[in-house]
């Protein structure tokens, strides 16, 4: 069409009806391939925007899920830390009780005698089973 306009000896406002018709046909024939692919391009754009929307929703869901899992992880860490402190306290108490029991056993050994103590140990072991 541009070539047509450049080679045209007259100005556009001096065209006859036939020349205008020819010009319109030339424009139509040049733009026809572009006009035919526009619906396909529109479909692809719509599909792209739709997929982008789905991806955005998926990312928001993932962010929400990660946030919730992070909160749960923090809560579980806090609980584990509390349990760890409790275990340390109980371990300290067990050590103290063990030391106390060992002192009591040593005192018992010294007061009862070795043979009697061994008999008491056997009775205690049989009761523990």
CB atoms within 10 A of CB 101: 10
pLDDT (tens digit per residue) in 61-99:
999 999 999 999 999 999 999 999 999 999 999 999 999
Tokens, residue 113: 């005698």
What is the number of domains present in the chain? 1
pLDDT (tens digit per residue) in 9-33:
556 667 777 877 887 888 888 888 8
- Residue-level pLDDT at 77: 97
pLDDT band for position 6 (cuts 50, 70, 90): low
Start-to-end C-alpha separation, the chain: 106
Domain containing residue 105: 2-128
């Amino acid at each position: 069409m541009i070539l047509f306009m450049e080679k045209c000896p007259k100005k556009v406002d001096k065209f006859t009806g036939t020349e205008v018709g020819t010009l319109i046909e030339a424009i139509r024939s040049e733009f026809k391939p572009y006009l035919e692919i526009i619906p396909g391009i529109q479909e692809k754009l719509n599909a792209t925007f739709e997929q982008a929307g789905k991806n955005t929703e998926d990312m928001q869901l993932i962010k929400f899920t990660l946030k919730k899992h992070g909160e749960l992880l923090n809560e579980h860490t806090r609980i584990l830390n509390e349990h760890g402190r409790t275990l340390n306290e109980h371990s300290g108490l067990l050590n103290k009780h063990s030391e106390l029991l060992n002192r009591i056993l040593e005192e018992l050994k010294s007061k009862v005698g070795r043979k009697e103590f061994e008999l008491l140990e056997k009775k205690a072991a049989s009761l523990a089973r």
